[in-house]
Amino acid sequence: MTITAPQLAHAPALPPGASFILEPIPGSKKSGYEFLILQPPGRTLKKYIFIQDDANFLPKVLDKFLREFADSTAGINIQANTQGKRTLFQTAMDLYKVYGFWYFQWKLRGLLFNKLRARLINGLLGSTKRCYTVAAVAKKYGVPVHRTDDVNSESFRSMLRSFGVEFIVSISGTQLYKKDLRQQTPFGIVNCHGALLPKYRGLMPSFWTLANGERWGGSSVHFVDRKLDNGPIVVQRKYRIWPHDTLEDIMARSKDIAAEAIIECVRLVEAGEPPLTANPESEMTHFAMPTAEDVRRFRQHGHRFR
């Protein structure tokens, strides 16, 4: 079944953040946003995953997700480790300036070592006792991986339609999801962001919570609309921040609770009428790539990178 939006010229006024409203299909109703919601008792949705090509924290997150939902997951798109509109090289150079030589080379060595271990242990030896990349986790659960530089392209969207994808979960995804993609995904796209939205939208939220001396951090799972880190929140989890916490500590903690939050979100969506909490732009803060002065503030609060 093809889902189409009504002609906007004849549609009622749209709620803030919405650029279209979908017409209900059997068992669903309008949400007031750019997605439908199931009516209780709900049902299993055909899902698809967008995930960053991380070889440190995200393999564990994906493993927890697929342990619950592999049977209803049509595939996985692995996205590049970029920040915003930067290329991979530009991202690496900007992170080098923020992290400094020692932390940057330690992170890079860990990434390359895990990819090597994935090739040897998960690939050649065929062991999945521990998976070192998200691709290895996908293989463990028999979920296909599909590569593309642009998930908004017509060819990729056509593939999603052929799979009957109804709901997309973005786990630290690095691409923007445009109107055509959102419009063909009737039950929406949810994204996991490592902060307590509406605060700390944008890049590197774990760094910024430490640089600003916050006592609490968290993860939010929210529906995607046309603006970055916008859209109503379904689940939020928070954790305490201590002065001795490092950036590595906070990123690990954020990803741990993110896995739980994502699973809870999917269950709520599939049960029907999920709770939707406002994510108001009027209360947002937004952050970009840190500067040397931001790193000094980060250290002044007693934090280290590792």
| Residues 196-244: tens digit of each pLDDT | 999 999 999 999 999 999 999 999 999 999 999 999 999 999 999 999 9
Residue 145 confidence class, pLDDT cut points 50, 70, 90: very high
CA distance to 55, 58, 102, 107, per residue, from 113 (Å): 9, 15, 16, 10
Q: Residue 173 and residue 124: Cα distance in Å, rounded? A: 28
- Could you read off the pLDDT of 101-123 as tens digits, one per residue? 999 999 999 999 999 999 999 99
Answer whether residue 12 shows pLDDT above 60.
no
In a domain, 6, yes or no: no
In a domain, 11, yes or no: no
Q: Is the Cβ–Cβ distance between 271 and 262 less than 8 Å? A: no
In a domain, 21, yes or no: no
Answer whether residue 38 shows pLDDT above 70.
yes
Q: Residue 229 and residue 239: Cα distance in Å, rounded? A: 20
In a domain, 19, yes or no: no
In a domain, 89, yes or no: yes
**Which has the closest alpha carbon to 253: 294, 199, 195, 298?**
195
How many domains are contained in the chain? 1
Residue 5 confidence class, pLDDT cut points 50, 70, 90: very low
Which backbone phi and psi does 248 adopt, to 5 degrees?
Answer: -60, -40
In a domain, 197, yes or no: yes
Q: Is the Cβ–Cβ distance between 17 and 225 less than 8 Å? A: yes
Answer whether residue 81 shows pLDDT above 60.
yes
Cα-Cα end-to-end distance for the chain: 50
Give mean pLDDT, residues 275-279. Answer: 96
How much is the pTM? 0.91
Q: Which domain holds residue 34?
A: 26-300
Q: 232: cis peptide before it, omega within 30°?
A: no
In a domain, 12, yes or no: no
The three-state (H, E, C) secondary structure of 171-211, written as one string:
ECCCCCCCHHHHHCCCCCEEEEECCCCCCCEECCHHHHHHH
pLDDT at 9: 33
pLDDT at 224: 97
How many H-runs (helices) and E-runs (strands) does the chain carry?
8, 10
pLDDT at 10: 35
pLDDT at 86: 79
Q: Residue 16 and residue 256: Cα distance in Å, rounded? A: 32
CATH number at residue 134: 3.40.50.12230
Average pLDDT, the chain: 92
